[in-house]
Copies of this chain bind each other. A is one copy, B any other.
Amino acid sequence: MSDDSDIPPGGETWVASDAFRDEEGQIGALWLERLKAFILGRRSEDMALVMAPLHIADVGDVLEQLEAQERIALVRMLGERFDFSALTEVDESIRLEIMEALPNAEIARAMAELDNDDAVFLLEDLEKADRDEILSALPAFERLALKRSLDFPEDSAGRRMQTDFIAIPPFWTVGQAIDYLRADQDLPDEFYQLYVVDAAYKVLGTLPLDKFLRAKRATRIEAIMNTGQVLVDALEDQEEAARSFERYDLVEVGVVDENGRLVGVLTIDDIVDVIHEEADEDIKLLAGVGDEEVSDTTLDTVKSRMPWLSVNLVAAVLVSFVIGLFNATIEQMVALAVLMPIVASMGGNAGTQTMTVTVRALAMRELEGGRLRRLIRREMVVGVANGVIFAIFIGVVTAFRYGSMALGAVIGSAMVINMIVAGTFGILIPVTLDRLRADPAIASAVFVTTITDIIGFFAFLGIAGLWFGLF
């Protein structure tokens, strides 16, 4: 036995054969098996050795791949070597599960090491009692900074901001500023611009690093700083802040309090998360699944889907009562029951299409001024056009299937009516919800399909009843 006996058997070939990520970019199955064996065998040092080179994002991915008890064992075994910022990279349910399994004292120790924005992110979802206990165990300076951030409303810029930033006075020269940056050890980890402030911390200008670097040492800061910079109010919603980032292609923006004092900065990596969350939220609201994640428990999932399914059940029962009005009609002509779902289904789909375009346009603020009128006009014409095209198609098919031109004409007319209704309500429902300051994505789909179902069945059965004199 050589003296590297603390390397696991086969350790030499490890990197070559058991790559961390396979060709698909997923975590290698062999790599993961080995890690799990280390955890199970309580081989802390071996485990720490393979975890050490990983980026926090990769640590997050590993945590998500493990079973609940393995995750907690891993964090415990790593101890002080575990970088808590990895928890910002995992699903909320996993994050809470790990945080709740650890003693508050240990969390407090870890929080003191983290960037302010990461610490806030980890603390904000904890129970108030746990949070207070952790805060009180922190050094005064960190405690106050975290408390101030946590006092801002959820999803505000103040909550997301990083409170470390570099502020310099306007009368310094570039040389003085560079010397300051070289000397000061207590700077933020990453920064993209300097903030030029007066004595009251009001922002006079900003100086991106690339511009700063290209200036001569003797140049005064105020001569080269950018004025007219975009600033974000700490109380502003993070989605609003994200829109500023996108609109003006920013990488970092200053956050000011109600007195206009610089209190923190938002960086693009936070904003990328916000943009992602926002789009994700829209998709999930449209399908009625709330803020679900794949790692949610079964019980949470059942609960989160109940409201939407309940609303849909009520709507479906309502629709069925509309059909019930035509009991006698259907009794005389069973073909109507066979054909009626076609009209409803086409209306539902066309309505969902229009609604989706409208919801996205509202989210991107693309329906200002004249554009809404133009969209309504377009959707009406599209409804008529697609209505007529598909009416002819289904009319012909039906006429052949049942050998009745009349039945073809009835289903065709119902189709045209329902497609126009679909286009109209596909716009009106999300726009109305938006005007009422509700999120247009929520519940739009169930409203739209309920209306197209009702109109679809009513128009088809009604026209048929009149045409064939079945009332």
CB-based nearest B residue for A368 = B26
Residues in B neighbouring A449, C-beta threshold 8 A: 345
Mark out the residues of chain A between 259 and 314 whose CB falls within 8 Å of any chain B CB in the assembled complex: 268-269, 271-273, 275-276, 279-280, 282-284, 286-289, 292, 294-295, 297-298, 301-302, 305-306, 308-310, 312-313
- B interface footprint on A375-395 (CB within 8 Å = 1, 0 otherwise): 100110110011001100110
Q: Which of A276, A301, A319 has the most CB of B within 10 A?
A: A301
**Contact assessment for A308 and B353 in the assembled complex, using a CB-CB cutoff below 8 Å:** yes
Mark out the residues of chain A between 346 and 366 whose CB falls within 8 Å of any chain B CB in the assembled complex: 346, 349-350, 352-353, 355-357, 359-361, 365-366
**Contact assessment for B305 and A317 in the assembled complex, using a CB-CB cutoff below 8 Å:** no
**Contact assessment for B279 and A26 in the assembled complex, using a CB-CB cutoff below 8 Å:** no
A-side interface size class? 35 or more
**Contact assessment for B251 and A192 in the assembled complex, using a CB-CB cutoff below 8 Å:** yes
- Report the Cα distance A246→B368, complex, angstroms: 31
With A301-B382, A323-B337 already in contact, the answer to whether A190 and B213 are too (CB < 8 A) is no
Q: What number of copies of this chain does the assembly contain? A: 2
Residues in B neighbouring A128, C-beta threshold 8 A: none
- Report the Cα distance A427→B175, complex, angstroms: 60
Residues in B neighbouring A397, C-beta threshold 8 A: 317
Residues in B neighbouring A27, C-beta threshold 8 A: 368-369
CB-based nearest B residue for A381 = B298
Q: Is the C-beta of A65 less than 8 angstroms from some C-beta in chain B?
A: yes
Closest CB in chain B relative to A81 CB, distance in Å: 19
CB-based nearest B residue for A289 = B353
Residues in B neighbouring A240, C-beta threshold 8 A: 25
Query: What are the 7 tightest A-B residue pairs by CB atom distance, in nearest-first order?
Result: A279-B279, A287-B356, A337-B337, A249-B269, A209-B209, A316-B342, A316-B345
A residues near B, CB below 8 A? Answer: 25-27, 29, 32, 55, 57-58, 61, 64-65, 67, 91, 178, 181-182, 187, 190-192, 208-210, 212-216, 240, 245-249, 251, 268-269, 271-273, 275-276, 279-280, 282-284, 286-289, 292, 294-295, 297-298, 301-302, 305-306, 308-310, 312-313, 315-317, 319-320, 323-324, 327, 330-331, 334-335, 337-342, 344-346, 349-350, 352-353, 355-357, 359-361, 365-371, 375, 378-379, 381-382, 385-386, 389-390, 393-394, 397, 446, 449, 453, 457
